[in-house]
Amino acid sequence: MSKHLIINAFTMNTVGHLSTGLWRHPRDQSTRYTNLRYWTDLARTLERGLIDGLFIADVLGVYDTYGGNADAALTHAAQVPVNDPLQLVPAMASVTTHLGFGVTASVNFEHPFPFARRMTTLDHLTDGRAGWNIVTSYLESGARNLGQSAQIPHDQRYAIADDYLEVCYKLWEASWAPGAVVADRERGIYADPAQIHAINHDGPFFRVPGFHLSEPSPQRTPVLFQAGASLRGRAFAAANAECVFVAAPTRTVLKKQVADFRAAAVAAGRAGDDIRILEQMTVIVAETDAAAQALLEDYRRYASGIGALTLMSGWTGIDFSRFSPDQVLENVESDAIQSAVEAFTRADPSRRWTIAEIAEYCAIGGDGPVLVGSPATVADQLEEWADETGVDGFNFASVVAPETFTAIVDLLIPELQARGRFKRNYAEGTLRQKLFGRGDHLAAPHRAAGLRAR
Amino acid sequence: MSKHLIINAFTMNTVGHLSTGLWRHPRDQSTRYTNLRYWTDLARTLERGLIDGLFIADVLGVYDTYGGNADAALTHAAQVPVNDPLQLVPAMASVTTHLGFGVTASVNFEHPFPFARRMTTLDHLTDGRAGWNIVTSYLESGARNLGQSAQIPHDQRYAIADDYLEVCYKLWEASWAPGAVVADRERGIYADPAQIHAINHDGPFFRVPGFHLSEPSPQRTPVLFQAGASLRGRAFAAANAECVFVAAPTRTVLKKQVADFRAAAVAAGRAGDDIRILEQMTVIVAETDAAAQALLEDYRRYASGIGALTLMSGWTGIDFSRFSPDQVLENVESDAIQSAVEAFTRADPSRRWTIAEIAEYCAIGGDGPVLVGSPATVADQLEEWADETGVDGFNFASVVAPETFTAIVDLLIPELQARGRFKRNYAEGTLRQKLFGRGDHLAAPHRAAGLRAR
């Protein structure tokens, strides 16, 4: 059985996203990230390739674990400077019709009352193409800059997130009944107060008595994305997420993660395929295998190993600057470091990797796998990944931007279409309808559906 | 001496802004406020007329003083539903080159660390055309929905605002030195850590130790707008604002406000004309005086008196539903009500107005003056307003949207140009450079200029 893959592009409002140092490549344009035209051109390219959505990562902090400060992150543009992702979307929406947008926002950035209005606004302005990547954690430097003395403990974060989502669900689903907006010019009634309900939320962290300030948007609740592989994170995703984003290093690991997520969804009273699971993936595709390998070699000349170690240090909490570059796996002292490093040696875990080799390797594609080859070669591997693991699709990161995305659209997409593994037209409707084909709104048994006002 | 007027359009991301009930007019398109095309078309129209900026109001709450609940506000679309203003700008910026944008945001909505990044992002994406309307207060319903048990006292609000601005100024001006972004592809240095400074802010309300996450935008600090006529508000504006927005009911009142603001600026160590003062104004302009009067009569058929009283109740804190519609001024019991009502009878304070008459009157143009006539008639009056009061320009609100703005662009602007009172081309450069002609950045003696990193 083959089905259409879901394919997103994965980016960030920054110079360097996952492939550190590649901003130095002569054809890379990511230093134009402050320019609207860069983004509207990208959106047009992606829609030309029928890409399902553009997923925009974010951090509200800096990677300052490596060396104990932000010097390496700033020097090598390791996800800093980084700008607000939300504002990119309205401009990109204005030049596209179908492309979806997933915006990352942490439940720790902003109170849920104004945040819910932001997302409703986004869903209105995109005609129902908005998604929210729910983030529960952020870098410790972000917590400090929000006036918190220390980062909130992991489990507490999910308790806050639960309450935060409850507020959002009530505002999006329960506050305005379907017939609340009358817009009757003759009778002079815009909205019917009897159909607009105060949510009277009094939770452990948030108290919101009033009604939503925005009228319902096409999807009401934006499509809910989540990344997170911890046990508590998986339970949270199983209860809330419609799409889950993972970055498994190997097919074996991914297969287990996919099975675990689907089982967790079932345990939460949903169907296993109520959740679309997307794997982070970097592909370097060219007309031939040789051309693609040459491209990889060319790209490697610009990769920043220190930039990669800076990101890895932030992700793992381990300061990789403490190690000599030629130190190999066997010689590191702790199991935690050992297992963290192993996660980054996905290509060949049986081999002895030095820190420098790991860094060089991860400077292309970050913590996700990388596929290199002709359209047929890459499509073969993607099919294997999908068929072996049961994953629903991929979030493709760029190496050289937007060149990586343009190659995907021009070379890889047609190959996947020829194999019947990718759609030839966009489906009509909202992003949720496109992804699930069951309507614009969250459906039962999702917990938010039960809140909807009649 | 005549100089060019500054002319902004004044709107809100909502159905009904200041002219309540006019959404029912057959030609009104403001019910399309959730549609991006509505906004990008408006932006193109305004830029065609060389309008200086689009000023977008906002409230994070509802007008629930009238009748003690939000029923009237919802029924008559009195600034509810209301969506996020910020997200309109990137799409409008993408179809314009010169039009400026003033976005309203309260210092109570969001922590200054992420807010500063939002505004820097906006200034980047607009190529230096961003302004921030600093709001220190908001409706009590907004405070409750942010989890606060009561609204913060007025003077305390300004103390919070001072600390909030201090954080923003340090992030925008002091954190990244002018040479911090190196972007040297050869040497692999994006930013120079030695030129990026942690702000180490430890104020009475906010603690922000780190550096700004965004690299400097063209203006660094967005152009600072403020509305506020209280004594404390005036002192705040004198110390911070570059443009002040007032809604004086008469020329006499405006003249005094203008003089007071300029004196306050001088007292704060700035020049009187370091502050551009803009008066809220509604103009109904047509080819002839008779046609304009006919337009006004036509508009009045759709005006909502209850909607106007709902806004007035929110602005004044007085529940006007307590009064009989035919009650006249002399018969109301308190001085506070008396003076509030007088403020809304700007056309003829000597006359005896009933509540119903006041409501009908204010349903066109809200709390600001209204001018009606041919281009020559309206231009005559605008010149008188400007020359008698020393005001620098006007924020024009719409009655029927976008018809009011289109008429201003097509009829009034050419008349003002012919009289030498309006520019014939946009100046080059950022919004700040266009408005003041002294460069892209805040200049001494503004308090923020002294913070700038070398």
Interface pTM, i.e. ipTM:
0.96
Q: Which residues of chain B have pLDDT under 70?
A: 1-2, 138, 149-151, 228-229, 329-349, 454
Per-residue pLDDT for A342 more than 70? no
- B13 vs A contacts (CB less than 8 Å): 121
What six digits make up the tokens of B170?
Answer: 């340090």
| A268 belongs to a structural domain | yes
Q: Are A31 and B183 inside 8 Å of each other by CB?
A: yes
Say how many CA atoms lie within 13 Å of B411 toward its Cβ: 23
How many angstroms separate the CA of residue B273 from the nearest CA in chain A?
A: 33
3-state secondary structure at position B26: coil
State the total domains in chain A.
1
Cα pseudo-dihedral A311, A317, A321, A326, rounded to 10:
-90
The amino acid sitting at A373 is G
Contact between A29 and A310 (Cβ < 8 Å): no
CB contact under 8 A, A188 and B111: no
Contact between A403 and A31 under an 8 Å Cβ cutoff? The reply is no
**CA distances (Å), B174 to each of A147, B110, B239, B453, in order?**
19, 21, 18, 5
Averaged pLDDT, A69-93: 98
CB contact under 8 A, B84 and A141: no
B101 CB neighbours in chain A (<8 A) are none
Structure tokens at A43: 């959106």
Handedness of CA A376, A381, A386, A387 (dihedral sign): positive
Q: Treating both helix axes as pointing N-terminal to C-terminal, what angle do B355-362 and B305-316 enclose, rounded to 10 degrees?
A: 90
**B306 within some domain:** no
- Of the pLDDT bands very low, low, confident and very high (cuts 50, 70, 90), residue A337 is low
Strand, helix or coil for residue A264 = helix
Q: Is A205 within a domain? A: no
pLDDT in tens, A181-196: 999 999 999 999 999 9
Rounded to whole angstroms, how far apart are CA atoms B117 and A62?
A: 13
Distances (CA, A) of A282 to A373, A417, A439: 12, 19, 31
CB contacts of B124 in chain A (<8 Å) are 34-35, 83
Q: Round to whole Å and give the CA distance between B153 and B158.
A: 9
Contact between chains at B192 and A74 (C-beta distance less than 8 A) = yes
Is residue A372 classed as helix, strand or coil in its secondary structure? strand
Find, in chain A, the residue whose alpha carbon is nearest to that of B140.
Answer: A210
Test mutation, A145, A201, A302, chain B, max B CBs within 10 A: A145
Q: Is the pLDDT of residue A332 over 60?
A: no
CA distance B434 to chain A (A): 20
Q: How many CB atoms lie within 10 A of CB B129?
A: 29
How far apart CA B181 and CA B163 sit, in angstroms, is 28
Contacts for B381 with CB less than 8 Å, ≥ 6 apart: B371, B373
Distance from CA of B421 to the nearest CA of A (A): 33
Contact state of B88 with A91 under an 8 Å Cβ cutoff: no
Of B80, B114, B304, the CB nearest to A213: B80
Tell if the CB–CB gap between B94 and A91 is shorter than 8 Å.
yes
CA angle A27, A32, A37 (to 5 degrees): 105
Chain A residues near residue B214 by CB distance under 8 angstroms: 81-83
At residue B51, the 3 state secondary structure works out as: coil
Percentage above 70 pLDDT, chain A: 93
With CB atoms and an 8 Å threshold, state whether A61 touches B213: yes
Q: How many CB atoms lie within 10 A of CB B444?
A: 11
In this complex, do A62 and B26 lie within 8 Å of one another by their Cβ atoms? no
- Residues of chain B positioned with their CB less than 8 A from the CB of A109: 110-111, 114
Out of B80, B186, B188, name the one closest to residue A21 (CB).
B188
| Helix or strand holding residue B332 (H, E) | none
pLDDT digits (tens, 9 = 90+) for A248-264: 888 998 999 999 999 99
CA distance A278 to A393: 5
Q: SS3 for A70-111, per residue?
A: CHHHHHCCCCCCECCCCCHHHHHHHCCCCCEEEEEEECCCCC
Distance CA A265, CA A257 (A): 12
* Chain A nearest-CA residue for B187: A24
Per-residue model confidence (pLDDT) at position B1: 45
Query: Residue A358 pLDDT > 90, yes or no?
Result: no
- 3 state DSSP class of A296: helix
Which residues are bridge partners to B75 per DSSP?
A: none
Residue A48's φ and ψ, nearest 5 degrees, are: -60, -35
Q: Which of B31, B90, B215 sits opposite A87 (nearest CB)?
A: B90
Q: How far is CA B412 from the centre of its chain?
A: 21
Q: What is the dihedral of CA A428, A434, A439, A441, to 10 degrees?
A: -120
**A75, A76, A189 member nearest B75 (Cβ):** A189
The whole-angstrom separation of Cα A417 and Cα A15 is: 32
pLDDT above 80: residue A137: no
Instruction: Please give the Cα distance from B451 to B129 (Å, whole number).
Output: 22
Check residue A1 and give its pLDDT. Answer: 45
3-state helix, strand, coil in chain B (%, to 5): 45, 15, 40
Instruction: Pick the residue from chain B with its C-alpha nearest to A69.
Output: B193
Select from B236, B254, B370 the least CA-distant residue to B308.
Answer: B370
pLDDT tens readout for residues B61-100: 999 999 999 999 999 999 999 999 999 999 999 999 999 9
Q: Rounded to the nearest 5 degrees, what angle is found at the Cα of B402, between the Cα atoms of B400 and B406?
A: 110
Ranges A18-22, A84-88, A349-353, B98-102: which has the least confidence = A349-353
B10 found inside a domain: yes
Rounded distance between C-alpha atoms, residue A182 and residue B402, angstroms: 22
> Taking CB atoms and an 8 Å limit, are A87 and B86 in contact across chains?
yes
Check residues A315 and B410 and name the one with the higher pLDDT. Answer: B410
Q: Which residue has the tokens 């954690």?
A: A137
Partner residue opposite B213 with nearest CB, options A31, A81, A210: A81
Q: Which residue has the tokens 């400074």?
A: B197
**The CATH number of the domain where B45 resides is what?**
3.20.20.30
Give chain A's mean pLDDT.
Answer: 92
**Count of other CB atoms within 10 angstroms of residue A351:** 10
Q: Burial level of B182, CB count in 10 A (0-12/13-18/19+)?
A: middle
- How many beta-carbon pairs below 8 A join chains A and B? 220
The minimal CB distance from A84 to the residues B60, B117, B185 is found for B117
CB contact under 8 A, B23 and A190: yes
Establish if B88 belongs to a structural domain. yes
Q: What is the rounded distance in angstroms from the CA atom of residue A330 to the CA atom of residue A327? A: 8
Averaged over A210-225, what is the pLDDT?
98
Nearest CB to B110: which of A88, A110, A188? A110
Nearest Cα residue in chain A from B26: A185
From the list B83, B113, B144, the residue facing A209 with the nearest CB is B144
Contact A147 B206 (CB under 8 A): yes
Tell if the CB–CB gap between B191 and A81 is shorter than 8 Å: yes
Q: Is the pLDDT of residue A349 over 90?
A: no
Comparing CA positions, the residue from B287, B235, B285, B239 lying closest to residue B394 is B285
At residue B41's C-alpha, the angle toward residues A84 and B218, to 5°, is: 35
Comparing CA positions, the residue from A86, A124, A125 lying closest to residue A105 is A86
Contact B193 A71 (CB under 8 A): yes
Mean pLDDT across A332-343: 62
Nearest to A88 among B24, B90, B211 (CB): B90
Mean residue pLDDT across chain B:
92
Structure tokens at B166: 């201090």
Instruction: Please report which helix (H) or strand (E) contains residue B351, including its range.
Output: none
Q: Which of B23, B27, B97, B190 to mutate to test binding with chain A, by most A CBs within 10 Å of its CB? A: B190
Q: Do B74 and A40 touch (CB under 8 A)?
A: no
* Contact state of A74 with B183 under an 8 Å Cβ cutoff: no
Instruction: Give A4's DSSP letter.
Output: P
Instruction: Give domain status of residue B254, yes or no.
Output: yes
Q: Establish if B121 belongs to a structural domain.
A: yes
- Check pLDDT > 80 for residue A115: yes
Which domain covers residue A220, as residue numbers? 6-177+214-301+368-448
CB contact under 8 A, A75 and B209: no
Residue A265 maps to a domain? yes
The number of residues making up chain B comes to 454
User: Which residue from B138, B51, B122, B140 is spatially nearest to B85, judged by alpha carbons?
Assistant: B122
Pick A206 or A351 by higher pLDDT. A206
The pLDDT of residue B158 is 87
- Neighbouring CB atoms inside 10 A of B334's CB total 9
Q: Tell me which amino acid residue A109 is.
A: F
